[in-house]
Amino acid sequence: GEGLPRPEQTRVMVVANQKGGVGKTTTTVNLAASLALHGGRVLVIDLDPQGNASTALGIDHHAEVPSIYDVLVDSKPLSDVVQPVPDVEGLFCAPATIDLAGAEIELVSLVARESRLERAIQAYEQPLDYILIDCPPSLGLLTVNALVAGAEVLIPIQCEYYALEGLGQLLRNVDLVRGHLNPKLHVSTILLTMYDGRTRLASQVADEVRSHFGGEVLRTSIPRSVRISEAPSYGQTVLTYDPASSGALSYLEAAREIALRGVNVQYDGQHAHALP
Ligand code: ADP
Ligand code: MG
């Protein structure tokens, strides 16, 4: 790999935004693949009952497959459900099956219902540089489990009308979880997705997000790209589907920026890439 600096401890990043269709899953899988291609060991935890992240990574997640449901509800060890992602060395996935749709209710009556994912991650012994958790489009117990398990929240924001709408609710939940359950939790990263620099709207939204959040917003944004949207139907990330595309390069660049921030190295802007 290109050998980006690796974090001293596993960075657990929660990819959340209760709005659907803003690029959570796309960002989770492509950033994870990018971090792995840069030389990291990366685990994607699919916490959305739709299982879109599992599909996009080419991971079998039919109903009988051991999954994150078994981890959360039946206390199965995470190591029993993690699968290696084909074609990307260093990338792993804990898949979601449709069972997970029931977990939101089943968790309610379980002990330590908010911290079951955190416990499972703590008991996982494989060395990892990053864990990326793909959240469902809601703020229920599944997302709360992710917020308790992670230290960093990564919010993808689609450069569209109403981009900031509903974010207040997510930020209040982050504050609540920080105050009661997880003092280390913070919004570390905002990523602008589906950015179309030719439209005034996109640049206005980007300006608004940058003035609202400032330093958390990555300088790299992700362009709207047909290649990005096609890749999941081949069970691939854009990094293997079309490694030279603007979408692939932008996720590699975002991964680089995130990795440098993690070791407090100043990001020096756009970088000409060759895939490792
Ligand atoms: P979420 O997980 O937040 O619901 P997704 O990641 O599933 O959102 O993205 C929603 C839709 O937008 C998907 O069809 C996805 O392929 C598409 N999409 C996401 N990012 C991009 C992009 N940068 N360019 C083009 N299409 C994208
Ligand atoms: Mg999704």
Convert the pLDDT of each residue in 202-244 to its tens digit.
Answer: 999 999 999 989 899 999 999 999 999 999 999 999 999 999 9
Rounded average pLDDT over 67-92: 97
How does strand 91-94 pair with strand 83-84? antiparallel
User: In Å, how far from its chain's centre is CA 75?
Assistant: 23
Task: Determine which residue's CA is closest to atom 27 belonging to ligand 1.
Answer: 229
- Which pLDDT score is estimated for 264? 78
Residues touching ligand 1 (Cβ under 6 Å) are 20-26, 52, 137, 193-194, 222, 224-225, 228-229, 247
- Which pLDDT score is estimated for 274? 42
Amino acid at the residue 153: V
Amino acid at the residue 264: N
d(CA 48, CA 230): 20
Radius of gyration of the chain (CA): 17
| Rounded-to-10 torsion of CA 243, 246, 248, 254 | 150
Q: If DSSP codes are grouped into helix, strand and coil, which group holds residue 154? A: strand
- Which pLDDT score is estimated for 265? 81
Mean pLDDT of the chain: 93
Rounded average pLDDT over 9-38: 97
* pLDDT at residue 8 is higher than 70: yes
What residues contact residue 240 under an 8 Å CB cut-off, 6+ apart? Answer: 33, 87, 88, 231
What residues contact residue 168 under an 8 Å CB cut-off, 6+ apart? Answer: none
Per-residue pLDDT of 145-159, as tens digits, reads 999 999 999 999 998
The full length of the chain comes to: 276
For the chain, domains (ranges, CATH) are 11-260 (3.40.50.300)
d(CA 81, CA 216): 33
Can you name the residues that pair with 193 across neighbouring β-strands? 158
- E strand residue ranges, the chain: 11-15, 42-46, 83-84, 91-94, 130-134, 152-158, 186-193
CA atoms within 13 A on the CB side of 103: 30
> What string of DSSP letters covers 222-245?
PBP-HHHHHGGGGT--HHHH-TTS
Tell which atom from ligand 1 comes closest to the C-alpha of 223: 23
Cβ-contact 92, 42 below 8 angstroms: yes
Rounded average pLDDT over 56-61: 96
Task: Determine which residue's CA is closest to atom 6 belonging to ligand 1.
Answer: 23
Write down the residue that tokens 């117990």 correspond to.
141
Task: Determine which residue's CA is closest to atom 19 belonging to ligand 1.
Answer: 23
Q: Give the residue from 38, 39, 48 showing the smallest Cα distance to 72.
A: 48
d(CA 99, CA 69): 6
d(CA 5, CA 20): 32
Global confidence as pTM: 0.96
Residues with beta carbon < 5 A to ion ligand 2? 24-25, 52
DSSP secondary structure letter of residue 27:
H
d(CA 159, CA 161): 7
Task: Determine which residue's CA is closest to atom 15 belonging to ligand 1.
Answer: 229
Tell which atom from ligand 1 comes closest to the C-alpha of 19: 3
What is the 95 CA–ligand 2 centroid distance (Å)?
A: 13
Cβ-contact 120, 22 below 8 angstroms: no
ipTM above 0.90, yes or no: yes
Can you name the residues that pair with 93 across neighbouring β-strands? 44, 83
Rounded average pLDDT over 270-274: 53
